[in-house]
Amino acid sequence: MLFLQGMRKLFTDIRSIHGIETDPKSLLKGTEMSRVDSIHDAWLLTDNGNFADWGSMQDSNLPKADEIISLQGLEVLPGLVDSHTHCIFAEPRSTEWEMRLKGATYEEIAAAGGGILNSAAKLRSMDEEWLYEKSLNRVLTMIAHGSTTIEIKSGYGLSTESELKMLRIARRIKKNVKATIKTTFLGAHAVPPEFNGRQDDYVAHIINQMLQAVSEDGLADHMDVFCDRGFFTPEQTLQLLEAAARYGLPAKIHANELGITGGVQVAAQAGAWSADHLEHIGAEEIECLRNSEVMPVGLPGTSYFLDIPYTPARMIIDAGLPFALASDFNPGSSPVCNMQMIWSLGCSRMKMLPAEAFNAITLNAARSLRLENTAGSIAIGKQADFWTTETGNAVQSVPYFFGVNHANAVYCKGTKV
Ligand code: NIG
Ligand code: FE
């Protein structure tokens, strides 16, 4: 009988490794977020796709390995975790963007049947194969910018058939890329035209039909609801998330993007893994988050693109809470797929320190998907997901020199992709 030995790879001549954890934590909160551990002039060992060890190039004995790869003075960072994307969509919405540039608001466009409903109309009519190819390319671009864990939501189908189409595509992407992919059912993203004026009926339809179909096929890892002004109410959201829990789907939530709407309280009540957006929150929401396990997630690409307030990251972190950042990559409110840009926006627009924003796009982002044991830092036993960069002093310089891709190569589970 032949036993497969773990394949050991030794990466040498690394200028710096950032984001190492000798004592792995499940998340970082408050002042803990401003710390990033690095070592310099280092080697990194992976075994069977997981981080196995690291040390100094000055060590007299380097570990034995099946393959030795010199990184020739590059820096190494843990793979970025994009915990919130809507990257499966048919077309850009650049016409709506121009309408907004002329003064229309996101909510006005949505109320007039544009926005998410515009995306849904296009997606429903689009061939699955074609949609798959387009979406796969977007995911490959995200990976090329250093994202090695990516969450993908449905929510542009808004019918059982088209929501399943989106989730099948997400599963197919998962099978065909090396990055870790997690999927989220977002049937409650908007009320489709067939249910116009019958919002409660659509909620019942999601609960009684769509959820069963989605879970029967095992296509989703979580359920999400757009709980906001003009979309779903806190009561409907709670009903939806409780139904999802009965199908074993943990909750995530879009909350407080358009106003103080009670979404944070619902997230806490439903035991959601994360509450995302939070552009509009006050002391009550902070208190509520403090008494919960909900990871607050900011989406600065949305604030930038919609010209709405940024999530008050300082208020959240200074209250001693954890905080994560994601791209919200979508055609309506955040057409950005580059987490390095999100890192930069977190600093320049939300006044997070580079190290805080780094932890927000790595470990805390992993926590928002409850993947902190396998992703989000360079720690022994975690998946060897990392990227290399020529940029020196990367934790400061990557978000500082914004708008370019600093990734030289990206590795998922120890393999270059
Ligand atoms: O996160 N807010 C709800 N959903 C997306 C926007 C989707 C869209 O406009 O297509 C968001 O911003
Ligand atoms: Fe979103």
Residue nearest to atom 9 of ligand 1 (CA): 332
Predicted local distance difference test score (pLDDT) of residue 60: 86
User: Quick one: which of 397, 342, 382 has its CA closest to 20?
Assistant: 382
Predicted local distance difference test score (pLDDT) of residue 3: 52
Predicted local distance difference test score (pLDDT) of residue 113: 87
User: Going edge to edge, which strands form the sheet with 147-153?
Assistant: 80-82, 147-153, 180-188, 222-227, 251-255, 274-277, 295-298, 324-325
The answer to whether residues 91 and 415 touch, using CB atoms and an 8 Å cutoff, is no
User: Quick one: which of 263, 249, 162, 267 has its CA closest to 211?
Assistant: 249
Per-residue pLDDT tens digits for 339-372: 999 999 999 999 999 999 999 999 999 999 999 9
Per-residue pLDDT tens digits for 101-111: 999 999 999 99
Whether 81 is in the pocket of ligand 1, judged by its Cβ within 6 Å, is no
Residue 4 predicted with pLDDT over 60: no
For CATH 2.30.40.10, the residue range(s) in the chain are 8-77+384-401+408-416
Per-residue pLDDT tens digits for 382-397: 999 999 999 999 999 9
Atom of ligand 1 nearest to the CA of 334: 12
Residue nearest to atom 1 of ligand 1 (CA): 328
Q: How far is the CA of 152 from the centre of ligand 2 (A)?
A: 10
Residue nearest to atom 12 of ligand 1 (CA): 333
Predicted local distance difference test score (pLDDT) of residue 2: 55
If one compares 60 and 9, the residue with the highest pLDDT of the two is 9
Whether 106 is in the pocket of ligand 1, judged by its Cβ within 6 Å, is no
Whether 224 is in the pocket of ligand 1, judged by its Cβ within 6 Å, is no
Predicted local distance difference test score (pLDDT) of residue 31: 98
Whether 276 is in the pocket of ligand 1, judged by its Cβ within 6 Å, is no
For CATH 3.20.20.140, the residue range(s) in the chain are 81-368
Residue 6 predicted with pLDDT over 90: no
- Asked if the 81-368 domain carries CATH number 3.30.565.10, the reply is no
Per-residue pLDDT tens digits for 20-57: 999 999 999 999 999 999 999 999 999 999 999 999 99
Overall fold of domain 8-77+384-401+408-416: Urease, subunit C; domain 1 (2.30.40)
- The secondary structure of residue 60, as a DSSP letter, is S
Ligand nearest to the CA of 190: 1
Whether 151 is in the pocket of ligand 1, judged by its Cβ within 6 Å, is no
Whether 328 is in the pocket of ligand 1, judged by its Cβ within 6 Å, is yes
By the 10 Å C-beta count (0-12 exposed, 13-18 middle, 19+ buried), 107 is classed as middle
Element (H, E) at 187: strand 180-188
Per-residue pLDDT tens digits for 224-283: 999 999 999 999 999 999 999 999 999 999 999 999 999 999 999 999 999 999 999 999
